[in-house]
Structure 1
Amino acid sequence: MKHLKHLLILPICAGALALGYTISNKKTEEYFHPTEETKTLEDYLAVIGPAPLYYKETTAGQYLAANFAQRHKDWESASEYLHKIIDKDEANAALKKQAMILAMGSGEANRAIALAREVQVNDPDNFLASLFLVMDHFSNENYGDAYIALQKIPEKSIGGFITPILKAWAKAAQGNFDISDVPLNSLYAYHALLMGQLTGNITKADDFVQKSLMSADVDPQDLLKIADLYVSLDKKDDALKLYTLIQQSGYGTLNLNKRIAALNKNSSNKNEPTETTPPTENINTLIRVPDIQNAQDGAALVFLNMSEILARDYSDDSAIIFANMTLHLSNRHSKPYIILGNILSRHDRIEDAIKNFLKIKPESKYYVLSQMEAANLYEKLEQPEKAIDTLKQLYKQQGDINAIIQIGHIYRSGEDFKNAIEAYNKAAKEIGDPIPKEYWHLLYVRGMSYEQSKEYGQAEDDLLKALAFQPNHPYILNYLGYSWADRGKNLDKSLSMIERAVKLKPDDGYIADSLGWVLYRLGHFSQAVPHLERASILLPYDPVINDHLGDVYWRNGRIIEAKFQWERAYNNADDDELKVTIDTKIKNGLTTDATIKNQQIASDENKIID
């Protein structure tokens, strides 16, 4: 059974404890105890099941087609196939239950509601049917009926987890702000605060929040939401305490650090950005607070939060259900499209994922993220032009620098280094000189592009600056060290840098290859062998690694093995220039004079530099 709620286990430092709150490592079972009587959506949807033997061939075919479509997250097709079967077998209650769920999963909420009513005729205690009818009652503002329907949902079920706060929303809609029966946990606390804001009961709601945060059941995702809401309520000191707790508990992110910096900007000793603290921004541009105007919006957010929890736990089918329930109740939420897009993407339904990302409007705080994701997926579909057009439009609308950087990445992955450098330079100009630590990666990727364009001076300048910001980054160490070694330059420094990279990433084949290659260029042929052999084991079909291993075998007198590695490299190489070089080695071997010359050049350069 998959966990309902994936709570991050975070270390609690003394500073966090001093605030009086702790972040929980409680597991899902504290919330949810599945039994045979109360199954999750995953249990219902895991297998539609074999077609009954008495079905005609066409019906059996539709059943199998529905099964296949559902497994591949094509819920719309699965729903249609199953409804064709129901048209022929209207009395089949089991199929109606499955069709009800598939209809909701495909976004056909009204069809799911109609089926839920039919299901309840024969199975009045079916909690999924009850949950869908609860959604319908909220949609029609029948809050009394919603409360009654919620009573039918078992406590120990996936629906039972959200029942307490849905009941509170239903009562609040009827003028009764009552959270006395709501258990203490951070998700419920978040909704209590939203409810209090809507109904004018902030003090009462905040008391519940404080009690909840002192309990053992606190999720960092909920803390962030509560803190953002505190900012919107002008309770910035309380918000800062929660942001700090999250950061000190090991859950710090760049956006979290920006929030903290923004709230600290009036403190004289914290006003200036540092290497670890980004420049301050307006706090209101950083927070994400839902637009809750009524209980219907509140219920929609409950379903959205449930979808987020399930998506984090990779309970994808259930997450899809709750995302579509959210969209049926309210058009104020963009996050469901992000959830649906991510789930469809990881199940290789790329085009459908893009459609969901593109549904998000420019005014949404998720718009930039959605466009970046759509661009990534266009690139995955090998449609770089569409990806670049999407990113250019994003930059035009939002001025997002990362969109320009991503354009550079697309050009670089297509080995169009000239246009990649142009894009990176445009981003660097927008950021301003000097490029801050926050954008060290821009220096790294631009440096690689310069190196590939044989503009070695500019490449070294960027890579050394990136390394200054990230002195223990294995890939920067490796790239710069390999670049020098491959040109016979700074070989002693190259060796030192790549040895550090190997210690940081001992199982990376490319870094192992770099270490072997720099030893080879230094003339330490026997020492190079084990590193290049290990690289070949880690990446057995990489032509450059096979080529290097062939070279070192040749220098160690292992002629037959050398030719075998060169032939292997030749067969796996796509680059024509590399194939010509390898073919020459296969026919003629390596010339001693060339090696001595290269070593002499390297020796002279090292003397000058060192």
Structure 2
Amino acid sequence: MRVRSSVFALATMAMIQPVTAHAEGLAGAYLAGRAAAISGDHAQAAAYFDRALLLDPGNPFIVSNAVFAHAALAEWEQAAAVAEGLPEGADGQELVALVQFVRHVAEDDLQAAIDMIEAGNGPGPLANDLARAWLTFGQGDMSGAVDLFEALASERGLEELAALHLALARAAVGDFEAAHEILSGATGVQITNTERVVRARAVVMLQLDMRAEALDLLDGYTQAVPDPGLLALQAQVGSGETIPYDFVITAQDGVAEVFFTVAQLLSGDRNTTLSLLMAQAAQGIDADHTDAMVLAGELMSASEQFQQAAVTFAAVPEGDPNYIEAQMGRAEALEDLGQQEEAIAILAALAEARPDLASVQAAYGDILRRAERFEEAIDAYTAVLSLVDTDLPRYWFIYYARAISYHQIDNWDPAEADFRRALELNPEQPNVLNYLGYSLVEQRRNFDEALDMIQRAVAARPESGYIIDSLGWVYYRLGRFDEAVAPMERAVELEPNDPIVNDHLGDVYWVNGRYREAEFQWHRALSFNPEPDEAARIRRKLDVGLYEVLEEEGGVGALTEQ
């Protein structure tokens, strides 16, 4: 299904249109804002375009860019204020119309929003009909809203979306039987069980005294996707707590949900611009729509706007069902910004507060491992394994990550046990096969098993330079020097800037009598800033040759019995 809006075209055009600079200050501010907008840094773009507007009020290109930047930050009041400066008839009217539409709905001026859709100034071809139905609902015309939803459901490719919103509208007026029938697929349209849909279904079931069925639904979903918010709801349902339906109640809630579902549909696109705008529009109407807030943060992270992503995630309040997920996203964004200690502190606090959540403990273990705090990471991964069914295949990664941590502190026996357990759960996992196989090669034992593992890893990931490097290296360790050349050369093609891979190719060239090429590769390896001990070893090889270094270290090839 092709889903696009003129808003997206307008926003893209606004970022590439030139502006006539009347002064150096204007040109500098505009160009800086344009560069920030192209890179997706909407906060910087908004600041620069606002500055440019002070120097050139009413310039349509600057107004359009400033409106878009503020909207992308969910700063809808600022966007509306800036939009007032767009001259009538100038380019950018579609974007201004979106801002006006969001403000009309948020301020409960539903008729004005309907008028905009009828005039062709609605939020876009997909959102128009859904929003119109909710606005009609908000005017007290449930019958008219149902007609609009059902008409939309007759359009090919839109059946699921229309059915979902019709179910939510039924629930909003207390018709939980009809809502349940639609959400369960009994009307013939299967609605995908996202976290938000499962939450709505479960709460609707509770209104129908279907507590056991709600628990089954939640248990089935969280077994596959251990969402913290749904796990909390599951605990509430299991305790017998009374939970009223408060999912989507008003027309504003419904239109916000329209923007959110459209944002979800578009979120898989490579260009996240329109999806972000739709997610922020949901927040512009319903400030409590934290699912939209989390989605916006994820989209910002995907476009490497980590600072703004961290701010967005931090806005989800403590106690909200999405709080834990948001804090985990915030920690990830801060780590990407290089603020690793702050990120660790966030996850440490979560892990202490929620020792019962495997997802939190796993995230904490991962960041500790990346910080090379391996003993603490082992503790966190062990905590995960104490909370889950360790026979489930998806927990191979926890064993694998803990194995790496054990290996990094030179505790090989438990490391090998964890690697092998990971392979029991996921026998052809290439990363595990490669890591264990390579480790066995470096320990100069079980060469046949190691070779088999690495060959299977290469078959699964033929474009991984690191795995192909392992294949060349096991041939080298086996003394099959001529067979090592091709995979090592291929590994360097795939990872041309990796110091270890280049170093390995140098060794392989040397043992094949290609001394000048070996020295060239070692010099290349040094140019890529290897670790200090590796750099010292490479320099020693350049001074005295590989054989002398190997004699100093105890030999070459397969010197240990297999």
- TM-score, shorter chain, exceeding 0.5: yes
Which among 358, 373, 377 is matched to residue 401 of structure 1? 358
Pairing 1:308–2:282 present = no
Residue 339 of structure 1: CA displacement? 2.8
- Flag structure 2 segments of 5+ consecutive residues without an equivalent: 154-158, 227-233, 239-244
The worse-fitting range, judged by mean Cα deviation, of 388-397 and 80-89 is: 80-89
Change (3 A) 1:206 1:122: farther
Q: Do the aligned partners of 2:503 and 2:538 also contact (CA within 8 Å) in 1? A: yes
Equivalent of 1:140 in 83, 107, 112: 107
Q: Distance in 1 between matches of 2:175 and 2:446?
A: 69
1:153 and 2:120 correspond: yes
1:412 corresponds to 2:369: yes
Q: Which residue of 2 aligns with 1:11?
A: none
Deviations for 1:317-340, whole angstroms, at most 9, x for unmatched residues? Answer: 333333332223223211232233
- 1:231 is aligned to 202
- In 1, distance between residues paired with 2:529 and 2:89? 65
Tell me the equivalent position of 1:199.
173
Q: 1:118 Cα deviation (Å)?
A: 7.1
Match among 490, 496, 505 for residue 446 of structure 2: 490
- Residue 35 (structure 2) aligns with: 68
Cα distance change of structure 1 residues 126 and 85 upon mapping to structure 2, 3 Å threshold: same
Residue 440 of structure 1: which of 393, 396, 403 is its match?
A: 396
Q: Distance between the aligned counterparts of 2:299 and 2:389, measured in 1?
A: 39
1:51 maps to amino acid = V
Aligned residue for 1:175, secondary structure, equals coil
Distance 1:210 1:461 in 2: 44
Change (3 A) 1:148 1:356: same
Q: How does 1:23-42 map to 2 (within 5 A)?
A: 27-28=1-2, 39-42=6-9
Query: What's 2:229 paired with?
Result: none
Superposition deviation, residue 126 in structure 1: 4.9
Q: 1:374 to 1:47 in 2, by over 3 A?
A: same
For 1:191 and 1:342, the matched residues in 2 are separated by 24
Bigger shift: residues 180-189 or 201-210: 201-210
2:180·2:204 contact (CA, 8 Å) conserved in 1? no
Whether 1:481 aligns to 2:437 is yes
Match 1:165 to one of 102, 113, 130: 130
Aligned letter for 1:542?
D
**2:200 touches 2:247 (CA, 8 Å); kept in 1?**
no
2:560 equivalent in structure 1: 602
Once the two structures are superposed, what CA deviation does each residue of 1:163-221 show, in whole Å capped at 9, x if it has no partner?
22222222222322122133112222211111111113456667877999757xx7747
In the aligned structure 1, how far is the partner of 2:271 from the partner of 2:438?
A: 43
Say if 2:463 is the partner of 1:525.
no
**Structure 1: how far apart are the matches of 2:196 and 2:520?**
60
Matches of 1:368 and 1:171 in 2, distance apart?
36
Query: Quick one: distance in 1 between partners of 2:55 and 2:390?
Result: 71
| Cα displacement (A) at 1:60 | 4.0
Contact residue 296 and residue 330 of structure 1 kept, 8 A: yes
Q: Kindly indicate whether the alpha-carbon contact (under 8 Å) linking 1:481 and 1:495 is maintained by their aligned counterparts in 2.
A: yes
Query: What is the one-letter code of the residue matched to 2:360?
Result: A
Q: Deviations over 1:11-36 (max 9, x none)?
A: xxxxxxxxxxxxxxxx21xx66x7xx
Instruction: Give 1:73 deviation, angstroms.
Output: 3.4
The 1-side partners of 2:224 and 2:119 are apart by 44
Contact 1:93 1:122 in 2 (8 A): no
After superposition, what is the alpha-carbon deviation per residue over 1:297-345, rounded to whole angstroms, capped at 9, x for unaligned? 2222222223333333245333333333222322321123223323332
458-467 or 325-334: which moved more? 325-334
2:381 pairs with 418, 424, 427, which one? 424
Match of 1:190 in 2: 164
Residue aligning to 1:379: 335
Secondary structure in 1 matching 2:148: coil
- SS of aligned partner of 2:125: coil
- Counterpart CA distance in 1 for 2:506 and 2:49 is 59
Partners in 1 of 2:203 and 2:489 — Cα distance? 59
- Cα 1:152–1:132 change in 2 (3 A) is farther
1:250-289 to structure 2, matched below 5 A, reads 255=222, 257=224
Equivalences, count: 536
Look up the SS of the partner of 1:180 in the other structure: helix
What's the counterpart of residue 300 of structure 2? 344
Residue matched to 1:15? none
Matched, 1:180 2:147: yes
Q: Please say if residues 303 and 325 of structure 1, whose CA atoms lie closer than 8 Å, have aligned partners that are also in contact.
A: yes
Deviation at 1:114, TM superposition (A): 4.9
**Could you list the per-position Cα deviations for residues 345-379 of structure 1 after superposition, in whole angstroms to 9, with x for gaps in the alignment?**
23333222111111112323322222222222222
Cα distance, 1:600 vs. partner? 6.8
Moved more, 528-537 or 92-101: 92-101
Describe the SS at the equivalent of 2:318.
coil
CA 571–95 in structure 1, closer or farther in 2 if over 3 Å, else same? closer
Q: How far off is 1:233 after superposition?
A: 2.2
Cα deviation code 1:545-591 (max 9, x no counterpart): 23332333332222333333333334435322223333333333315
Distance of aligned partners of 1:463 and 1:210 in 2 relative to their CA distance in 1, 3 Å threshold:
closer
Decide whether aligned partners of structure 1 residues 510 and 109 sit closer, same or farther in structure 2, where only a CA change above 3 A counts. closer
Contact map agreement 2:64 2:86 (CA 8 A) in 1: yes
1:417–1:452 CA contact under 8 A, matched in 2: yes
Give the counterpart letter for 2:168 in structure 1: L
3-state SS of the aligned residue for 1:171?
A: helix
Counterpart contact for 1:186–1:213, Cα < 8 Å: no
Q: Give the superposition deviation at 1:458.
A: 1.3
CA contact (8 A) 2:477 2:558 kept: no
Q: Is the 8 A contact 2:266 2:272 kept in 1?
A: yes
- Residues of 2 paired with 1:561 and 1:121: CA distance? 69
Paired residue type of 2:126: F
Counterpart CA distance in 1 for 2:504 and 2:271 is: 45
State how far apart, in whole Å, the 2-side matches of 1:548 and 1:45 are: 46
Q: In structure 1, what is the equivalent of residue 544 of structure 2? A: 588
Give the Cα separation in 2 of the matches to 1:290 and 1:485.
59
Quote how far apart the aligned CAs of 1:102 are.
4.0
Q: CA deviation at 1:284?
A: 5.8
The one-character-per-residue Cα deviations of 1:445-485 (angstroms, maximum 9, x if unpaired) are: 11122223222211111111111111101111111111111
Counterpart code for 2:20? P
**What is the DSSP-based 3-state SS (H/G/I as helix, E as strand, rest coil) of the residue aligned with 1:312?**
coil
Shift of 1:107: 3.1
RMSD between aligned residues: 4.1
Could you tell which deviates more after superposition, 225-234 or 346-355?
A: 225-234
